[in-house]
Structure formats: C-alpha cells, structure tokens
Amino acid sequence: MTDLTYGQFEMVHNVLNLTIAIFGGSAFLFSMLQNQVAPSYRFAVNLMAVVVAMAAYHYVRIYEAWNAAYVFTDGAYKSTGLPFDYALRYADWLSTVPFIVASLVLVLDLGRAKSTNMTIRMVVSSMLMLLFGYFGEVQRTDMMLRGLWLIFSMIPFAYMIYVLWVEMSNLLEFETARIRQYFSALRVLLVTSWTFYPIVYCLPMLGLKSAELELGIQIGNSVADILAKAMFGLLIYSIAREKTVEDSLSKQVSGATPARVQA
Amino acid sequence: MTDLTYGQFEMVHNVLNLTIAIFGGSAFLFSMLQNQVAPSYRFAVNLMAVVVAMAAYHYVRIYEAWNAAYVFTDGAYKSTGLPFDYALRYADWLSTVPFIVASLVLVLDLGRAKSTNMTIRMVVSSMLMLLFGYFGEVQRTDMMLRGLWLIFSMIPFAYMIYVLWVEMSNLLEFETARIRQYFSALRVLLVTSWTFYPIVYCLPMLGLKSAELELGIQIGNSVADILAKAMFGLLIYSIAREKTVEDSLSKQVSGATPARVQA
C-alpha cells in the first residue's frame, strides 16, 4: 500500500463512514416504507431493505480493513504491511447484487411464472458475473489471466443488459408512461453505476498505482455503491408506490371494490 | 493449524463475513415477511427469523476465532498456536437445529395435538443427534470413540428421516400439488445439506490434514449452513405464504368470510 498524507487517509475514512450511515439509514427507511405499498410489491421493497442492511454491515468491515492497513506515524499514514482487502467488496456484491436484480423483476409484478423464470435467469447471471470477477480479482500478478476472467465476466453482464433492454421493454408496453419513466431511470442507474467496477478492475492491468488513484478507487466505489443500492432502492419504492396507487384507482373506476389505501 | 497463504486465509475470512451478512440480512427479511402470512403460519416464520439471527451471532464468534488462529507475518498467515475452535459450530447447531425442525412441523399446521407430538419427537431427536456428535467431536485422539459416537448420532438422524419421508408424506396427501412440491424441496434441502457435517466429522478419523482441506471444511460448512438455514427459511416462508393465499381463496369460494389479504 502507498503511504498517504493525513488528509488523504481521513478523506477515505470519512467517505466510508458516511457510506455506512447512508446504508444503515436506508435500511431503516425502506423497512418503514414497506407499509406504503400493496402486498404484491412489498417483497421487492423488503429485498432492497435487506440489500442496504447487508451493505451497511460490509462497509463496517471495509472501514475496519482500511484502518488496519495504515498506521499514523510522524504526521502521515504509513502502510502497516497488511494489504487492504479489496476482495471484501466482492463479499458485499455477492450477497447483494442477486437481490438487487431480483427486486427489479419482482416490482414489475409480471405474474408468477414469468416472474420466477426471469428472476432466476437474472440472479444466476449476476452471480456468474461476480464469481468470474472474483477469480480475476485475486490474480495480482498474471495480468493475462486477469484480463481473461474479465471477458468471461462480461458475458453474463451483456446477457443482463439484453434482458433489461429487450425482454423487459416488451413487457412494459401496457404500463403507464410514469412507470416506464421510472423503469428507464432504474436500468440506466444500474448499468452506469456498474460500469465503475470494471474500470477499477482494469487499473492493475495498466500498471497504475498512486495515492491519488487509491483515493479515487475507494471514494468512487462508495459513490457507485450508494447509487446502485440506496438510490436504486428508492426508485424501486417509487415504482411500488406508483403501482399501488394505480391499482387502487383502477379498482375505483371499475367499481369492483372501493379503493383501500394500503397503509 | 496449518499455515496458510494470504489468498487462502482471505478466502475463508471473506466467506465467513459473507455468511454473517446473509444470516443478518435473512433475519431482517423474515421479520418483515411475517406480515405476509396468516397468523396460523406466522410462528414458523418467526422461528426461522430467530434461527438466522442466532446463526449470524455465532458466525461473528466463528469469524473472531478464525482471525485469532492466524497472524499475518512475512506476507503469509502463520498459526498463532491457538487452535480454531470447531466446537463453536456445535453451539450454533444446538441453538438453531431444534427450531429448524420445529418450524418444519409447525408450518404444516397439522392441528394442535398432532403438531405438538411431532414437534417434540423431532426436537428431541435433533438434540440427541447433536449432543452425541459433540461428544465425538471433542475426541481428538481416540478415533474408535469418535466413530462410536458417530454411530449413536446416526440413530436419531435416521429416525428424523423416517418421520420426514414416511409419517409426513401420509399427512400431506390432502395438500395441493404446489405445497407438496415445496415440502419435497424442503426435506431434500435439509437432508442433503446435513450430510456435509458427518463428512467433515470423519476427516480426522482418516488422518487427513492440509491447508486445502481446512479451506474446504470452512467454506463447505458455511455453504451447508446457508442452505440449511437461510434457504430453508425462505422455503418455510414460501409454504406459509402459499397456504395463506389458499386459505383465503377457499374462504372466498365457500362464501364464509370475504377474503382478507393478510398484510
């Protein structure tokens, strides 16, 4: 690990700390918001509450690992010799990304058979992407092998993009304009925040290493995680809430049952 | 303890960490999901929430024990001399397995008398199985005695398999095909994940010991525990949810009470 100035170390230290607070807070928020959505959409919101709760836990461990990698000596932060364990982040992704993609499918409420089938395909693809990424991540010397695992990892990623843009777009034609807007925002958010990870993955292959780069990686990862989990969860809730209101209005119009506010 | 490379130590370290997150996340999830099932099935879901919460706690201790068994010196992880306390896992099993088997019986809602009777038999059998296993586990030198305790432990295990496959199958004939499917998945999951434990138990009897084996044991145990607790809990919830929906539909058809969405 490269030595850091006091300011550099503290910057990462504080961003990691802030991230723990945002994830913990989001878990609390989503668990309260579940009551604002109809039972059919509730499981998706519950899953996102779990995602941010697990992310909060993992960030506590990442924060501990960051503190263990440096020691304050002579006015600066020197490496303790123990490398910062980047693979900790894979433990986070492996336990949260499958739930993120599942919640994206489930909130659309496509009917049991279609929903189950698509959820399984998305969950399996996301796990393969992460596993291949992990096998490459632990390759610290053989850069050819690291590059090869990246290519493997990109195959399930490309498949997920296909499902999101082609398959799901067809299923959404009967949804209202607002739902389609939310959904577009959701998938753009997911894919743009996810592109940050392969960029960081490639840095060792380019031989880049400096204190500034280390800062960029840690802060960039936190921002990408906040967008892909907390912000994403808020959008999932917005869709669930919108659909709850729409369902209740359509019942009112057809005169079947009086609209009952799900609360 | 055998010395480990940085990568080997970190792999177990991360898997244990991931397991803590999954169990903690599942406890949170199951406690939210309880509202989606009717009161008659809620206790089973509550028990599973408690099981994964206790497992999360035990895994924190297992994680600490793993970290205490090794020290990072000269770029590798050397044994500190303190053995990793494998019996910690028995503390986990003794406090969770009786609840797991109880929740399996309770979610079927067999009526009070039948339910209580079967729950007691399953709980007692599971505790005997674990106690005998523990007595054998602490035998590190006398391999004859270790083998004898294994045989004792297999008797209540075989009895539980009898109850699951013979007694319970007879009770399930009036259930819908979907419930029977879930139940089959449940018992197959339970028994296959449980077979991992006696295999690990036998390794010292075969005189096997290596860094790779240690990795296999720790990672295999985590995976078996995740399947037997978190995955099992999700199936218990699925049965409870399915039965809730079925009950509500049958009430609607018979016209007794209007269907009330349990939420």
Whole-Å CA distances, A52 to A128, A186, B57, B101, B130:
21, 16, 19, 30, 35
**B176-183 long-range contacts, CB within 8 A, separation 24+:** B176/B242, B176/B246, B178/B242, B179/B239, B179/B242, B179/B243, B179/B246, B182/B235, B182/B238, B182/B239, B182/B242, B183/B108, B183/B239
Write out chain B residues lying below 8 Å of A57, CB-based: 20-21, 24-25
Write out chain A residues lying below 8 Å of B11, CB-based: 87
Mean pLDDT of A107-133: 92
Percent of chain A at pLDDT exceeding 70: 96
Q: What is the pLDDT of residues A137-173, one digit of tens each?
A: 888 788 899 999 999 999 999 999 999 999 988 888 8
Residue A210 pLDDT more than 80?
yes
**Which segment of A81-85, A166-170, B58-62, B79-83 scores lowest on mean pLDDT?**
A81-85
Q: Which residue of B has its CA nearest to A46?
A: B29
Q: Which of residues 34-93 of B touch A (CB under 8 A)?
A: 36, 72
Residue A259 pLDDT more than 50?
no
Q: What is the pLDDT of residue A142?
A: 86
Q: Which residue of A has its CA nearest to B32?
A: A46
Backbone φ, ψ for residue B181 (5° rounding): -60, -50
Q: How far is A216 from chain B (nearest CA, A)?
A: 23
Q: What is the pLDDT of residue B259?
A: 38
A85 → closest Cβ in B10, B25, B262: B10
Candidates B9, B13, B60, B77: best to mutate against A (most CBs of A within 10 A) is B13
Mean pLDDT of B104-115: 88
Chains A & B: contacts with CB separation below 8 Å? 64
Residue A263 pLDDT more than 50?
no
B72 → closest Cβ in A57, A58, A82: A82
Whole-Å CA distances, B166 to A108, B28, B171:
41, 34, 9
Verify whether the Cβ–Cβ distance B13 to A54 is below 8 Å: no
Contact status of A145 with chain B (Cβ, < 8 Å): no
Whether the Cβ atoms of residue A143 and residue A195 lie closer than 8 Å to each other: no
Instruction: Give just the sign of the alpha carbon dihedral B180, B182, B183, B189.
Output: positive
Q: Which residue of B has its CA nearest to A94?
A: B18
Mean pLDDT of B196-217: 84
pTM of the model: 0.88
d(CA B81, CA B85): 12
Q: What is the pLDDT of residue B120?
A: 95
Residue B255 pLDDT more than 60?
no
Verify whether the Cβ–Cβ distance B25 to A82 is below 8 Å: no
A49 → closest Cβ in B14, B17, B28: B28
Whether the Cβ atoms of residue A94 and residue B219 lie closer than 8 Å to each other: no
Candidates A1, A28, A61: best to mutate against B (most CBs of B within 10 A) is A61
Contact status of A20 with chain B (Cβ, < 8 Å): no
User: What is residue B96's three-state secondary structure?
Assistant: helix
Contact status of A146 with chain B (Cβ, < 8 Å): no
Q: What is the pLDDT of residue A174?
A: 82
The residue among A221, A202, A219, A199 whose CA lies nearest residue A211 is: A219
Whether the Cβ atoms of residue A126 and residue A84 lie closer than 8 Å to each other: no
What is the pLDDT confidence band of residue B163, given thresholds at 50, 70 and 90?
very high
Q: What is the pLDDT of residues A49-72, one digit of tens each?
A: 999 999 999 999 999 999 999 999
Q: How far is A19 from chain B (nearest CA, A)?
A: 17
Contact status of A149 with chain B (Cβ, < 8 Å): no
d(CA A183, CA B247): 34
Most confident of the following: A148-157, A245-254, B208-217, B248-257? A148-157
What is the pLDDT confidence band of residue A255, given thresholds at 50, 70 and 90?
low
d(CA A126, CA A153): 9
Residue type (1 letter), B4: L
Candidates A26, A54, A225: best to mutate against B (most CBs of B within 10 A) is A54
Q: How far is B99 from chain A (nearest CA, A)?
A: 23
What is the pLDDT confidence band of residue B57, given thresholds at 50, 70 and 90?
very high
Mean pLDDT of B43-50: 97
What is the pLDDT confidence band of residue B39, given thresholds at 50, 70 and 90?
very high
Q: What is the pLDDT of residues B63-76, one digit of tens each?
A: 999 999 999 888 88
